[in-house]
């Protein structure tokens, strides 16, 4: 076999092993070291089995990841999110938005989407948002008579907004891989994230308007007084909004880097938890533990992916795929559609982490050839990766929700409920193709 053929074999074996359930990060490391041992073989290999440059590459990649300034923001944003999650703010936020929008068709579903969007902005952790909203909003909607498919679909789709809406962990990972400014990337993703959340809400309101039985309106006796509604909004929405505005605003205004803003956000999350009297030693320990565990996972994913990608490229894998794409003579639009179609199909068996770390770097060297802005491509990828959480059979948001849903809610009902939102994501991507300014206008306006 030629070296490029071995590189393709390496890629196919990786996908097969991951589908069998092996840990992604350590699979990447094992594949990178194993095939790298062959790729970087030295003349005196048989005399000293450790005399191979793949071990030097692995150590160098480990040092590079641990000293990467962009990735410093990851544990800080994670800590902010986990602290906010355990501060019992979300239940107050959902209740206040639900009451404030009670005259809107499908008000509880709209409130769930709005809460997911705000909470996703504060955390960026899909599993946390879906799980918490599944415990909080799903029973309330089912008790109010909402259709199961509508209620479950809203939570699954709303929970994935954390991939797209800043401060998304995925955007930080993409910025580090693509070597682009995370600040500009955050600015580029802001309007598409708001647009997608708004499209979800328009769909829910439209369905509830034409078929009110799907989402019954609350009875007037269940609605508290106006003063209580205002008080709920002031005490739940405004503090969290101030935290989000402070973090994102300082980043987009150029006052602070993402890492600096995340550090301030962590202290702000602790302050909110203290104000709500939810800051206990046990919850603080849980937040620190979860932050350390998730940060370690991200770091090892980077180390494994960079080692894997280095070996794959050295064997000629990237060159082979690039040659294949260029030979198709698809043009700029055709390249974008082809790349996003491949990422969409990969979303069926794989999660966003494997896709963004392994497969997106294959397309990055071709962006200059086709004249594609890496910021625009990154936002398209983030928009597309919503599908990795919404596409059966590996729709992780559905499994997160099923884990906390009442027993009478079947997994197939959740799958059916998320299908319309999958179509909305595809529609949003089409709008991005037609109007790239949705993503590119804000970073151009702010930073030139």
Taking only the tens place, the pLDDT of each residue in 335-357 is 888 888 888 888 777 777 778 87
Please report the pLDDT score of residue 222 as a whole number. 61
- Using CA atoms of 422, 427, 430, 436 in order, give the dihedral in degrees to the nearest 10: -100
The tokens for 409 are: 């809610």
Looking at residue 200, its pLDDT comes to 94
Q: Which pLDDT score is estimated for 446? A: 84
Distance CA 396, CA 391 (A): 8
**Pseudo-torsion of CA 86, 90, 91, 92, nearest 10°?**
120
CB 446 within 8 A of CB 188: no
Residue 192's pLDDT band, with cuts at 50, 70 and 90, is: very high
**Mind listing the pLDDT tens digit for each residue in 395-444?**
778 888 888 888 888 888 899 999 999 999 999 999 998 899 999 999 99
Give the pLDDT confidence of 28-54 residue by residue, as tens digits: 889 888 888 888 877 666 666 677 788
Confidence category of residue 318, pLDDT binned at 50, 70, 90:
confident
Average pLDDT over residues 191-207: 93
pLDDT at 120 over 90: no
pLDDT average, residue stretch 64-70: 78
| Per-residue tokens: 344 | 């969409």
pLDDT at 439: 92
Residue 220 pLDDT exceeds 70: no
- pLDDT band for position 221 (cuts 50, 70, 90): low
* pLDDT > 90: percent of the chain: 14
Give CA angle at 202 (196, 206), nearest 5°.
150
| pLDDT, the chain, mean | 83
Q: What is the 3-state secondary structure (H, E, C) of the chain?
A: CCHHHHHHHHHHHHHHHHHCCCCHHHHHHHHHHHHHHHHCCCCCCCCCCCCCHHHHHHHHHHHHHHCCCHHHHHHHHHHHHHHHHCCCHHHHHHHHHHHHCCCCCCHHHHHHHHHHHHHHHHHCCHHHHHHHHHHHHHHHHHHCCCCHHHHHHHHHHHHHHHHCCCCCHHHHHHHHHHCCCHHHHHHHHHHHHHHHHHHHHHHHHHHHHHCHHHCCCCCHHHCCCHHHHHHHHHHHHHHHHHHHHHHHHHHHCCCCCHHHHHHHHHHHHHHHHHHCCCCCHHHHHHHHHHHHHHHHHHHHHHHHHHHHHHHHHHCCHHHHHHHHHHHCCCHHHHHHHHHHHHHHHHCCCCCHHHHHHHHHHHHHHHHHHHCCCHHHHHHHHHHHCHHHHHCCCCCHHHHHHHHHCCCCCCHHHHHHHHHHHHHHHHHHHHHHHHCCHHHHHHHHHHHC
Q: Are 392 and 185 in contact (CB under 8 A)?
A: no
Sign, CA dihedral 148-154-157-159, equals: negative
56 burial via Cβ count (<10 Å: 0-12, 13-18, 19+): exposed
Q: Please classify residue 349 by burial: count the beta carbons closer than 10 Å to its beta carbon, then call 0-12 exposed, 13-18 middle and 19+ buried.
A: middle
State residue 325's pLDDT score.
79
Q: Counting beta carbons within 10 angstroms of the beta carbon of residue 278, is it exposed (0 to 12), middle (13 to 18) or buried (19 or more)?
A: middle
- pLDDT of 86: 72
Q: Which residue has the tokens 């048989």?
A: 46
Q: Give the pLDDT band of residue 155 (cuts 50, 70, 90).
A: very high
Count other C-beta atoms under 10 Å from residue 249's C-beta: 13
Read off the pLDDT of residues 1-31 as tens digits, 9 standing for 90 and up.
Answer: 788 888 888 888 888 887 787 877 888 889 8
Give the other-Cβ count within 10 Å of 272's Cβ.
21
pTM (two decimals): 0.83
Residues 6+ apart with CB under 8 A from 288: 79
Q: Is the pLDDT of residue 255 over 70?
A: yes
> Can you state the angle between helices 89-100 and 73-85, rounded to 10 degrees?
70
Residue 382 near residue 447 (C-beta atoms within 8 A): no
pLDDT of amino acid 48: 64
Distance CA 316, CA 104 (A): 57
In DSSP notation, 404-436 reads HS-TTS-HHHHHHHHHHHHHHHHHHHHHHHH-T
């Amino acid at each position: 076999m030629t070296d490029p053929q071995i590189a393709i074999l390496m890629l196919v074996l990786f996908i097969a092993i991951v589908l069998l359930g092996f840990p992604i990060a350590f699979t990447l490391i094992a594949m990178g070291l194993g095939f790298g041992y062959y790729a970087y073989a030295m003349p005196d290999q048989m005399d000293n089995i450790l005399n191979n440059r793949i071990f030097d590459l692995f150590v160098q990649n480990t040092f590079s990841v641990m000293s990467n300034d962009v990735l410093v923001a990851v544990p800080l944003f994670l800590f902010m999110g986990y602290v906010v999650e355990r501060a019992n703010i979300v239940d107050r936020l959902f209740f206040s938005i639900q009451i404030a929008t009670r005259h809107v068709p499908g008000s509880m579903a709209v409130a769930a989407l709005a809460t997911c969007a705000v909470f996703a902005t504060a955390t960026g952790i899909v599993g946390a948002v879906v799980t918490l909203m599944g415990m909080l909003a799903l029973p309330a909607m089912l008790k109010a008579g909402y259709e199961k498919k509508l209620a479950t679909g809203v939570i699954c789709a709303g929970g994935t907004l954390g991939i797209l809406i800043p401060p998304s962990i995925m955007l930080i990972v993409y910025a580090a891989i693509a070597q682009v400014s995370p600040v500009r990337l955050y600015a580029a993703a802001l309007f598409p994230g708001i647009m997608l959340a708004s499209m979800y809400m328009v769909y829910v309101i439209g369905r509830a308007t034409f078929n009110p039985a799907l989402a019954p309106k609350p009875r007037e006796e269940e609605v508290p007084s106006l003063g209580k509604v205002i008080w709920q909004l002031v005490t739940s929405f405004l503090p969290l909004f101030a935290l989000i505005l402070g973090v994102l605003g300082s980043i987009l205004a150029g006052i602070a880097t993402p890492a600096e803003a995340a550090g301030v956000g962590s202290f702000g999350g602790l302050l909110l938890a203290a104000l709500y009297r939810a800051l206990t030693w046990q919850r603080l320990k849980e937040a620190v533990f979860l932050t350390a565990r998730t940060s370690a996972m991200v770091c090892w994913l980077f180390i494994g992916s960079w080692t894997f990608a280095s070996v794959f490229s050295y064997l000629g894998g990237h060159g082979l795929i690039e040659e294949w794409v260029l030979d198709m003579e698809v043009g700029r639009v055709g390249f974008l559609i082809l790349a996003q179609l491949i990422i969409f199909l990969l979303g069926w068996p794989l999660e966003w982490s494997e896709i963004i770390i392994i497969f997106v770097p294959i397309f990055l060297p071709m962006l200059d050839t086709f004249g594609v802005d890496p910021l625009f491509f990154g936002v398209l990828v983030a928009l597309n990766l919503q599908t990795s959480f919404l596409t059966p059979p590996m729709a992780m948001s559905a499994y997160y929700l099923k884990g906390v849903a009442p027993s009478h809610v079947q997994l197939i009902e959740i799958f059916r409920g998320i299908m319309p939102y999958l179509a909305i994501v595809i529609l949003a991507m089409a709008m991005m193709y037609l109007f790239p300014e949705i993503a590119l206008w804000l970073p151009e306006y702010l930073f030139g």
